[in-house]
Amino acid sequence: MTAARAKSPTFPCVRCGRPVRRAPATKQRPRTIACPRCRYLLYDYPRPAAGVLVVKGDAVLLLRRAHTPRLGCLDVPGGFMDAGESIEGAARRELREETGLTVGALKPLGFYWDTYDLPGFGKFPTMNWYFVGKWRRGVPVGADDAASAEWVPLSRLPRMKAEYAWEHMPELFAALRKWAKRG
Ligand SMILES: [Zn+2]
């Protein structure tokens, strides 16, 4: 067992109450939460999230996270999808809730896997869709999940790697810089 797995928290089995924990995927099956006593088995399905990279000139809007996990780290406006939403609808709603900004048409940029660590519940897989939108109007106000908002020049992004909230962000920003070069 790796150190990371050893740290995965336990919580009660929903059927018998025995402590269970998340188990990583194997060749035979995806990630699961399996009870060793009553055999209750949950597939640990990924959760979908959507975000918007708002571009203004040569800068992109980033937020400082106001909450755990990854408190104080740089994030992109976005969040988990609600049931019944389209991916783009979720991205627009999160942008509105977190920044109050208006953007133009959203162009799909890419899709990235990651994990989200919820204290007491452990790490679960996330599917993260991103769109690019050009800033139209509004001054971003840090609200909801975000403590503050800042326009960061694309050229400065690689130097801020240590402050990124999520593992997929270097790949995401590389895709954004490619998109910007294409015009
Ligand atoms: Zn059980």
Q: Quote the pLDDT of residue 2.
A: 46
Judged against a pLDDT cut of 60, whether residue 85 lies above it is answered with yes
CB 176 within 8 A of CB 164: no
How far is CA 140 from each of CA 87, 134, 147, 171, rounded to the nearest angstrom? 22, 13, 11, 25
Give 9-23 pLDDT, tens digit per residue.
Answer: 899 999 999 999 888
Q: Where are the domains of the chain?
A: 9-43, 47-182
- In angstroms, what is the span from residue 81 Cα to ligand 1's centroid? 29
Least confident of 53-57, 141-145, 147-151, 155-159: 141-145
Q: How far is the CA of 115 from the centre of ligand 1 (A)?
A: 25
Helix (H) or strand (E) holding 33: strand 32-34
Cα–Cα distance, 92 to 83 (Å, whole number)? 15
Q: Say which CATH architecture domain 47-182 belongs to.
A: Alpha-Beta Complex (3.90)
Cα of 119 vs centre of ligand 1, distance in Å, is 21
The answer to whether the pTM exceeds 0.75 is yes
Ligand 1 center to 89 CA (angstroms):
38
